[in-house]
Structure 1
Amino acid sequence: MVFFQQYTRELIATGILVILFVLLRIITSKLVRRYAKSSHTIEHRTNLVIKYIHLFINILAVTSLIIIWGVQTKDIFIALSSITTVVGVAMFAQWSILSNITSGIILFFSFPFKIGDVIKIHDKDFPIEAEVEDIGAFHVFLKTNDGEMVIFPNNLLLQKGISILKTHFDDKEFVD
């Protein structure tokens, strides 16, 4: 009983945070799904973006709980900087991973091409003309006319010029 009397403010703030956390996750999921439906975005890409947004909301919620329960801000920054340093040293290619995730989100919202489109990537060293097979969180999977599968990083797609030549279904007949 003493615990509840001593930590009443923290318990109330935690309850409010949990309610806000659940509401924020539901609202953001519905907004992203509504946007995806209006722009005819594929469910797989929609789920990836929702997963990224939920991860960000989870990090904010944990940080808020730490602050609510009285952990000093100085201690939080020391712990986060230590973790970031270890991760940065241990994973030298971290910027590339974050860049590809960010590029995947940008490709989702800008929607420059979709699965089934035939695109040409204007790269002077390695030009590619292929059909978009799948768009993932880190890579776009392309299939050339020769049947070769090319896996292209999302961040390079934003750096290179791309021409959308035709859709996959333009020259095919559908038969029941």
Structure 2
Amino acid sequence: MKNFLQLDGYFQETVATIVVIATIMVLRMVSAKLIRRYARTSEILEHRTNLVIKYTFMVLNSLGLIALIIIWGVKTEYIFATLSTMLTVIGVAFFAQWSLLSNITSGIILLFSFPFKIGDVIQIHDKDFPIEAEIEDIRAFHTHLRTKEGRVITYPNNLLLQKGISILPGFHEDREFTD
């Protein structure tokens, strides 16, 4: 009976935790359906749709974690100390690997600005290494290109934004793109 009384002190926090988790699950389902519906009406490829859904889920999960931290009354000085330490380590790592940050930023720009899309045939105007290939996949850090000869080239996203690019008439057969 004594253990039950001790747990009774956390009843509000437990109920609030269940409500937050249920709310996040519902928001994830609703947002995924809304994003897919918008993608269908806008004729956006499924790969890009899945990336947007993944990023949306990351934001919702982060908000849920913040809500749980607040509900359970974690002291703010502990949160700030932990966050500042994490941000310092991440900042040093990104400073040491600035190209990584550049590729992530370029991937986000490519994802949302749509200068070209999966299935487009492009020519990269590079003096030393010109490339003519079909875009197979656009990822967060790099893009997969397939040449006429069938070679797959992994090209960093930041270079795609720095180099001149021409979109050419396609040399590919029409096919379904799946993840």
User: If the TM-score is normalised by the length of the shorter chain, which range does it land in?
Assistant: 0.7 to 0.9
Show the counterpart of 1:112: 115
Asked if 1:59 corresponds to 2:62, the answer is: yes
Question: Deviation at 1:5?
Answer: 3.6
Q: TM (normalized to structure 1)? A: 0.77
Pairwise CA distance, 1:69: 0.4
Deviation for aligned residue 1:65: 0.7
Q: Which 10-residue stretch deviates more, 54-63 or 144-153?
A: 144-153
Partner of 2:18: 15
Q: Report the 3-state secondary structure (helix = DSSP H, G, I; strand = E; otherwise coil) of the residue aligned with 1:32.
A: helix
**Cα displacement string for residues 122-165 of structure 1 (whole angstroms, at most 9, x for unaligned residues):** 44554433221222232111133454432112233234332212
Q: Is 1:42 matched with 2:31?
A: no
Q: 2:157 aligns with which of 154, 160, 173?
A: 154
8 Å contact from structure 1 (residues 123, 160) kept in 2:
yes
Q: Contact 1:117/1:168 (CA < 8 Å) preserved in 2?
A: no
Aligned equivalents of 2:133, 2:156: Cα separation in 1:
14
Aligned 8 A contact 1:116 1:132 in 2: yes
In 2, Cα distance between the equivalents of 1:121 and 1:160?
7
Identify the residue that residue 141 of structure 1 maps to in structure 2. 144
Identity %: 58
Structure 2: state its 5+ residue gaps: 175-179
Residue identity opposite 1:69 in structure 2:
W
Q: Aligned partner of 1:112: which letter?
A: P
Q: Say whether residues 1:81 and 2:52 are aligned partners.
A: no
Q: CA deviation at 1:36?
A: 2.3
The 8 Å contact of residues 118 and 138 in structure 2, kept in 1 or not, is answered as yes
Structure 2 residue 124 is the aligned partner of structure 1 residue 121 = yes
